Structure 1
Amino acid sequence: MTASQVSTIVVMGVAGCGKSTVAARLAERLGWDLLEGDSLHPARNVERMTAGIPLDDTDRAPWLAAIADRIRAGRAGGRPLVVACSALARRYRDVLRGEGVVFAYLSGTRALLESRIAARSGHFMKPGMLDSQLSTLEPPQPDEAAVTVDIDAEPAEIVAGILSELGPAAAAA
């Protein structure tokens, strides 16, 4: 897929990798709509995560379906979209995958992720749930439409790295 064919960038990774921050900056840079995937979690999911209970595939199914619906609606309406969504496993990305969808995997060390999670407040994702997310994580494989960017940088550098990986058309957007 060439950068000019990209209509949706899903910024993905585990808790603390900077999905929300990077997605917001990327959407602003490109002039695209932003979808914060966490905003589509059913109340039950938020309650479970707030209680420190990891989600399972049954919990994630309606959430991923809602995000996929928004991606399809954006594509059908000609509205490019940046989505912040963990998309930890390939089977979850398969639900979101479609024409024009590319994934930007934010990768970082466990120590960096832990320090970021410890520093934030007011988020329903509890620090103890990082283990669950890391055990679920399946980094994108070469046959997936995805780029990988290291998060040990400032958000502007991470955005620039994503755009660089996507190619000249995206970097110039």
Structure 2
Amino acid sequence: MATTCLVVMGVSGSGKSTVARLLADRLGWPMAEADEFHPEANIAKMTAGIPLTDADRGPWLRTLRDWISKQDKAGQGTVVTCSALKREYRDVLRGASARVHFVHLHGTQEVIAERLASRSGHFMPPSLLASQFAALEPLGADEDGTTVDVTATPDRIVDRVVAELEH
């Protein structure tokens, strides 16, 4: 039986890393930041304020999918942060051998912009937030996932996701 990979998704500044770390700690699963799978060329583009193209994202998503499958083959559930803004990106990740369950951290552009303004040390500049919201395709009814409001506390978000996994 396949293991589960929780992909904590959403635009930059939605709280993916915080929620993913809490989920990983609660479940005792390893966590991976999808940003760490980006090739240098992608990071350079984002740092320069240039949005990535679908062609830029393809190899990155396939590398992440393959990592998820490798963990599954080892019998290990995982938690991954990944923006996964478009369904076609999520389709690539769903190609992993594990069950891939998306946790969409949803918030308004105003709430997320406020969070980004107070954040430092990340290569994603706030200027790219509008392009992320423009690209965002919410989870479809047929997609394995949970959508949660980012105004809830991270602990409440984790409680909801874990409760849903148990059903």
The residue aligned with 2:4 is 7
Spell out structure 1 runs of 4+ moving beyond 4 A: none
TM-score by length of 1: 0.91
**Structure 1 unaligned runs (5+)?**
169-173
Please tell me the residue identity of whatever aligns with 2:46: M
Give, in whole Å, the separation in 2 of the partners of 1:70 and 1:118.
32
SS in 2 for 1:82: strand
Asked whether the equivalents of residues 3 and 72 of structure 2 are also in contact (C-alpha less than 8 Å), the reply is: no
The residue aligned with 1:146 is 145
Give, in whole Å, the separation in 2 of the partners of 1:135 and 1:19.
19
Structure 1 residue 6, shift from structure 2 partner: 5.3
The residue aligned with 2:121 is 122
Aligned pairs, number: 165
Q: Percent identity?
A: 50
The residue aligned with 1:113 is 112
Structure 1 residue 156, shift from structure 2 partner: 1.0
SS in 2 for 1:46: helix
CA root-mean-square deviation: 1.4
SS in 1 for 2:50: coil
SS in 2 for 1:141: coil
User: 1:79-102: CA deviations, max 9, x gaps?
Assistant: 110000000000000000044111
Structure 1 residue 109, shift from structure 2 partner: 1.2
Structure 1 residue 142, shift from structure 2 partner: 0.6
Structure 1 residue 167, shift from structure 2 partner: 3.3
Structure 1 residue 166, shift from structure 2 partner: 2.7
**Structure 2 unaligned runs (5+)?**
none
Please tell me the residue identity of whatever aligns with 1:156: D
Trace 1:75-90 onto structure 2 (pairs within 5 A).
75-90=72-87
TM-score by length of 2: 0.94
